[in-house]
Chain A
């Protein structure tokens, strides 16, 4: 078994209203200092996992995301897998 470091980036789907992003944008725009828009707020989850190889690891992490960590009605996710440094 090998150990992998996993990072999951979860973002609200484009089709779902993101009131947190909208609230941030409202404040940023009121400051008139930056010309920034399209704010979206998501979350990042990190953990380590043991698997026989990288593709097995990817399969397990995808299952974990679909079963629990991500709600695909409203969210999308990206996975990054690296070898865990000892």
Chain B
């Protein structure tokens, strides 16, 4: 298997890039480099990772200012040409502001910052991001956000349902999805979605923080392994 080249985007205020770097380079042994937001090139990159954090202090709206940076227009071109892009937490928020994914992430229903393990159900295991998970399986992945309340219009919701773009939903330990298993008020308990073409994923939970046995949880590593397997 060839080594995949991951590029992790750094904005002022990103703070999960080292976790992603560690999971990809040290655990998965893939090539990985940081790309500063002011850069204009994604040359040689096979997969773009937009990590979590508080890019530009979450000013204006979460992800809004980052979506206007130089590298963001390159990410847009990269995605439109079929490149693999994954946005985690703030990365998901940036992808919605870039209009690469539909919808928007609102303040959590009860306004609090939530940092805890959540159970999520793999709703679609036939994608490049989830191919090593079992369809309908439940995994434990932590969340850490104040704006994770996914919202989109009824028309867009019908469209993403029809196209199987719902990737992960918040559930309980047994995989049941209902109001009490929803930590932040997200519409239909949505924790992650895919774009229509299937090459851009956004999710609020942090798979990179659930990638090593010594940390007590390896449920997240298959997301990165799936990407490596697909790109080979």
Q: Do A and B come from one complex?
A: yes
Interchain CB contact under 8 A, A68 and B64: yes
- Interface digits, B96-107 against A, CB 8 Å rule (1 contact, 0 not)? 010000011011
What residues make up the interface of B, taking CB atoms closer than 8 Å to A? 60-61, 64, 68, 97, 103-104, 106-111, 151-153, 185
- Interface hits, A44-79 → B, CB 8 Å: 68-69, 71, 73-74
Q: Please name all residues of chain B whose beta carbon is closer than 8 Å to the beta carbon of A37 when the two chains form the complex.
A: none
- State how many angstroms separate the Cβ of A27 from the closest Cβ of chain B: 12
Interchain CB contact under 8 A, A71 and B61: yes
Interchain CB contact under 8 A, A73 and B60: no
Interchain CB contact under 8 A, B111 and A73: no
Nearest-CB residue, chain A, relative to B110: A19
- State how many angstroms separate the Cβ of B105 from the closest Cβ of chain A: 10
Q: Which of B68, B97, B106 contacts A16 (CB 8 A)?
A: B106
- Interface digits, A14-56 against B, CB 8 Å rule (1 contact, 0 not)? 0011011001000000000000000000000000000000000
- State how many angstroms separate the Cβ of A43 from the closest Cβ of chain B: 8
Interchain CB contact under 8 A, B64 and A16: no
Size bracket, chain A contacts: 10 to 19
Interface majority SS on B: helix, strand, loop or mixed?
loop
| In the bound complex, CA of A71 to CA of B61 (Å) | 8
| In the bound complex, CA of A35 to CA of B113 (Å) | 30
A-B contact pairs, 11 of them (CB 8 A): A16-B106, A17-B106, A17-B109, A19-B108, A68-B64, A71-B61, A71-B104, A73-B103, A73-B104, A73-B151, A73-B152
Q: Which of A19, A68, A71 contacts B111 (CB 8 A)?
A: A19
- State how many angstroms separate the Cβ of B25 from the closest Cβ of chain A: 35
- State how many angstroms separate the Cβ of B158 from the closest Cβ of chain A: 15
Interchain CB contact under 8 A, B152 and A69: no
Nearest-CB residue, chain A, relative to B67: A68
- State how many angstroms separate the Cβ of A42 from the closest Cβ of chain B: 12
| In the bound complex, CA of A20 to CA of B109 (Å) | 10
- State how many angstroms separate the Cβ of A20 from the closest Cβ of chain B: 7
Q: Please name all residues of chain A whose beta carbon is closer than 8 Å to the beta carbon of B68 when the two chains form the complex.
A: 68
- Please give 14 more A-B residue pairs, beta carbons under 8 A apart, in addition to A17-B109, A19-B107, A74-B151: A16-B106, A19-B108, A19-B109, A19-B111, A20-B111, A68-B64, A71-B97, A71-B104, A73-B103, A73-B104, A73-B151, A73-B152, A73-B153, A74-B104
- State how many angstroms separate the Cβ of A22 from the closest Cβ of chain B: 9
- State how many angstroms separate the Cβ of A15 from the closest Cβ of chain B: 8
Q: Please name all residues of chain A whose beta carbon is closer than 8 Å to the beta carbon of B185 when the two chains form the complex.
A: 17
- State how many angstroms separate the Cβ of B147 from the closest Cβ of chain A: 11
| In the bound complex, CA of A73 to CA of B152 (Å) | 7
